[in-house]
Structure 1
Amino acid sequence: MKKIFFISFLFVSIAGFSQFYNGLQMNFGKNRIQYNNFVWQYYRDSKVDVYFYQNGEALAKEALMIVKRKLPELTYFFQYDLQQRIIILVYNKLTDFRQSNIGLITGDLQYNIGGVTQVLGNKIFVYFDGNREQFETEITKSLAQIFINEMVYGTDFKTRMANSTLIAFPEWYLKGLISYISTEWNTDIDNQVRDGILSGRYEKFNSLIGDEATYAGHSIWNYIAIKYGKQVIPNIVYLTKVSKNIDAGFMYVIGTSLKYLSYDWLNFYDEWYYKQEQLRVMPTGNFILKKSKKNTVYQQLKINPVYPNLVTYQTNQKGKVKIWLQDIKTGKKKRIYRKGHTLEQITDYSNPVLCWHPQGDILTFTNEYQGKVWLNLYDIKTKKLERRELTDIQKVLDYDYSPDGFQIIMSVVSHGHSDISIYSMVGASFEKITDDAADDLSPHFIENGKKIIFSSNRSSNTLIANTDSLITPNNIF
């Protein structure tokens, strides 16, 4: 039976210390810069506590249901029962998560940038980005990491330290395994693996780090499951722990060493992708960008509705965000906005969100700054920037102007739901169109502003107001 408790103090003001990671003392919830005070409450179940703050109750309920569904599945897969109680802290959005000190493992607060680590011991820190499927994936990923950490390293500090010095896992091993368990093979993984295989970067897979190690590792475990069966994976992990040797873990279970397994793995994907590449046809036409920067994501390309040679797009280089205007005929471009710094933290690719005003003279973009959501209006003729705060919402996912420019149809996150609302430019107010547990995304005006269209994973075409349980999203849009 789940219970709800109210905590009358603020986590951000705890004066004491909590033992979180490798025996180091950490100021829980205390960060260099904080814009919000979080008053925390929590739900308690037999094996998990889920903490949440204002406007996050719906997310906490969903997180609790996900854990109760996933724990038995992971227990059966690993044939292992967790020894520790799971504690989950749910943040309403990434910018709130960054205000915490999660990931800080030194006593020097001045170097804390926040928002780096999502699992510390038996504690999971998760945020909502407007996509429930991704929310479930992140929780599953964190649970899988706790299972693997317990199985491999143990639960108490002394055992963890001893095992961590005896077994040196390459990055692809654990990150790839966590990804394989939590995420089904999809187009993004397939594209990343294809690029890594065909470019030859995966040939030295033991040296890979970061996302490349995760994708390569995912493909290795996927290959093992295809050839030997998914059930051999927990046995490989267990025997690796017992033998204190990665190569022995593979040899004992599947009868081949990691070296020869890697040959088979590379040949398998190389043949598969080579056949696909023979059928591909590259699109024709000129590139808008003649060259791109390394480690930079280019997104949100929008064509001006009045001046079709003028486009806008944003670049994101590990947190350093820039918005550009470019004349695709002359190639000239100008940066009109810059925010953030290149930091080793979880990068937020969800904002700013760009959109042209239908008259073509105003570029609109939303962003999150100092704990608030802002609507920015940039006049391309006067080069003046005006901004206004969007209240009563936590995040903007996408939006579109009405033909007359007086209204904006938005997909916004509010109280843990991604719903559709109409924002009045004159009255600076919202009118809710949907208000339920389904994810409602990509709204647009059609038929000269008389109707709206949006994508949704709701199981029916019925709009049910203000409920968390009457609609069961199916993750199919």
Structure 2
Amino acid sequence: MNFFQSLRRLAAGPLREAGYWVLLLLLAGAAVLPARAQTAQEPFGRVRIQYKKFNWEEFSTQNFNVYFYAGGEASARRTAEYAEQELQRITALVGYFPYSKTTLMLYNSVGDLRQSNIGLPVANAVNGGEAQLAKQTKVQVAFTGRQTDFKRELSFQITQVLLNDMLYGGSLREVLQSNYMLQLPDWFVSGASAYAAEGWSIDMDAYMRDMVRQYPSGNRTAQFFTRNPRLAGHSIWNYIAERYGYGTVQNVLNLTRITRDVEVGISSSLNVPYKVFLRNWVSYYRDINTGGALATLVVPAEANRLSSRNKRGLDVFSQPVFSPDGQHLAYAVNEQGRYHVVIANRDGSHRHTLLQGGYRTPDQQVETRLPVLAWRGNAQLAVAEMQQGRMTLHVHDATRTVLIGRLRGRCACATRPPFSRPTTRCLI
């Protein structure tokens, strides 16, 4: 019997049975390996593009850890002093003092702030809790060119961090537990923070006047919160302070924290059923916006509207500027960071988009001061905008989407850049 005959007999006998088991084990292993690989895969996190390197420096005060970078030390010192004063006022209003220091991260411009990765939403539940905790315990503020706007935003964010710490807790475990047990509407914290930062405000008053004109009767209140939860909540807290007293604000906040229910917190503090409270709130603003001198206010005619956009209320129109002969109007339309430069005749006809740029960021602050527009004669338009973290200045043909000139470098346009006469030089 040769070697091949012996091998054939083994294959027909015990070796065949062993081969079946080996094949079965290989198939089982092949089925298990993809399952293990699937559970081990982790998706890549989202990050924002950073065009510059931030070399952070730090100093501490009694209640804040302040971070800044090159060019922002003097502003950071003044901001820390103002934040300490505001914290005393805000804690007296809400009746709560933080147990740990708050982190202040100060940016020299909104363009720098938009490169921050703090607070990015992630899909994973655990990482999402960590991201929310990081966002709740850090204040990120950018200087926008006006001290009043900067201080108002700083006060708003400090109050928001303080209320989140008060209502949700300061640790990751408390945040996750409170998120499950305490479901607050969007207007509650944002509205209270806005009221603590400003008190009564022009934006809040104008919003409620516009809403009660659209809905002059009826008891439904959902539409007031749908359009702008922050301004609607701002008006609620202003109504509570005006109607029931300044000290009632902290009573509502504390009872909401204890009962973990907004309706119970409001009705128990004010001794009014929640639905009756909402009807009284709307009636209050209807009364003050329908009598006296306010009744004579004239609403602009619909025929004078130059644009039919902004039905969702997301667009911000800015930088309107007429050409020297007054025949053309240039303006910018910003939708959550994505902007368009539009040129139209003075009556709104023959609109065309000259250029567009930026990108939408619904969860970030938007720079509404840019792009800055200025006419060079009646046929050319200069546009100062932020591109890849740097200011650029372009000159376009106003009648066509043609780029005539470009200047890029370390320049800053805080206001509309004026051209000299004759229009050969631009002051930036």
Q: Structure 2: 5+ residue runs without aligned partners?
A: 1-43, 125-130
In the other structure, the counterpart of 1:332 is: 350
In the other structure, the counterpart of 1:452 is: none
1:249 Cα shift? 1.6
Q: Which residue, out of 152, 155, 162, partners 2:167?
A: 152
TM alignment of 1:43-82, pairs within 5 A: 43-82=59-98
Q: Percent identity?
A: 24
1:32 Cα shift? 4.0
1:388 partner SS: strand
2:187 partner SS: helix
Structure 1 residue 250 corresponds to structure 2 residue 269: no
Deviations 1:139-176 (A, max 9, x none): 11111112211221222222222222222211111111
Query: Structure 2: how far apart are the matches of 1:319 and 1:118?
Result: 25
Query: Structure 1: how far apart are the matches of 2:396 and 2:317?
Result: 20
1:369 Cα shift? 0.8
User: Larger deviation: 165-174 or 219-228?
Assistant: 165-174
Deviations 1:45-92 (A, max 9, x none): 122111111111122112211211111112222332211211111111
1:125 partner SS: strand
Code of the aligned partner of 1:367? E
Query: Structure 2: how far apart are the matches of 1:210 and 1:145?
Result: 21
1:392 Cα shift? 5.0
Query: Structure 1: how far apart are the matches of 2:241 and 2:288?
Result: 16
In the other structure, the counterpart of 1:183 is: 198
TM alignment of 1:442-453, pairs within 5 A: none
Query: Structure 1: how far apart are the matches of 2:186 and 2:288?
Result: 25
**TM-score by structure 2 length?**
0.79
In the other structure, the counterpart of 1:349 is: 368
Q: Which residue, out of 212, 215, 223, partners 1:197?
A: 212
Query: Structure 2: how far apart are the matches of 1:301 and 1:158?
Result: 49
Q: Which residue, out of 281, 284, 288, partners 2:298?
A: 281
Q: Which residue, out of 404, 409, 417, partners 1:399?
A: 417
- Are 1:118 and 1:142, in contact at CA under 8 Å, matched by a contact in 2? no
Code of the aligned partner of 1:297? V
Q: 1:360 to 1:350 in 2, by over 3 A?
A: same
Q: Which residue, out of 300, 304, 309, partners 2:323?
A: 304
1:401 partner SS: coil
Query: Structure 1: how far apart are the matches of 2:215 and 2:347?
Result: 36
Q: Which residue, out of 209, 224, 231, partners 1:215?
A: 231
2:352 partner SS: strand
1:284 Cα shift? 6.6
In the other structure, the counterpart of 1:35 is: 51
Q: 1:32 to 1:214 in 2, by over 3 A?
A: closer
1:250 Cα shift? 2.0
More strand by share: 1
Code of the aligned partner of 2:324? P
Query: Structure 2: how far apart are the matches of 1:299 and 1:208?
Result: 25
1:39 Cα shift? 0.8
2:242 partner SS: helix
- Are 1:366 and 1:396, in contact at CA under 8 Å, matched by a contact in 2? no
1:400 partner SS: coil
Structure 1 residue 291 corresponds to structure 2 residue 331: no
- Are 2:221 and 2:282, in contact at CA under 8 Å, matched by a contact in 1? no
Code of the aligned partner of 2:154? I
TM alignment of 1:15-30, pairs within 5 A: none
Deviations 1:332-385 (A, max 9, x none): 12211011334423322111011112x322211110111111111112367531
- Are 1:36 and 1:371, in contact at CA under 8 Å, matched by a contact in 2? yes
Structure 1 residue 237 corresponds to structure 2 residue 253: yes
Query: Structure 2: how far apart are the matches of 1:288 and 1:125?
Result: 37
1:194 Cα shift? 1.3
**TM-score by structure 1 length?**
0.72
Query: Structure 2: how far apart are the matches of 1:380 and 1:244?
Result: 58
1:220 Cα shift? 0.8
Query: Structure 2: how far apart are the matches of 1:156 and 1:289?
Result: 51
More helix by share: 2
1:206 Cα shift? 5.3
Q: 1:293 to 1:283 in 2, by over 3 A?
A: closer
Q: Which residue, out of 364, 367, 375, partners 2:393?
A: 375
Supply the RMSD in Å over aligned alpha carbons.
2.9
Code of the aligned partner of 2:306? L
- Give aligned pairs, total: 374
1:131 Cα shift? 1.1
Code of the aligned partner of 1:365? V
1:227 Cα shift? 1.0
2:304 partner SS: coil
1:188 Cα shift? 2.0
TM alignment of 1:105-120, pairs within 5 A: 105-106=121-122, 120=135
2:290 partner SS: helix
- Are 1:374 and 1:390, in contact at CA under 8 Å, matched by a contact in 2? yes
Larger radius of gyration: 2
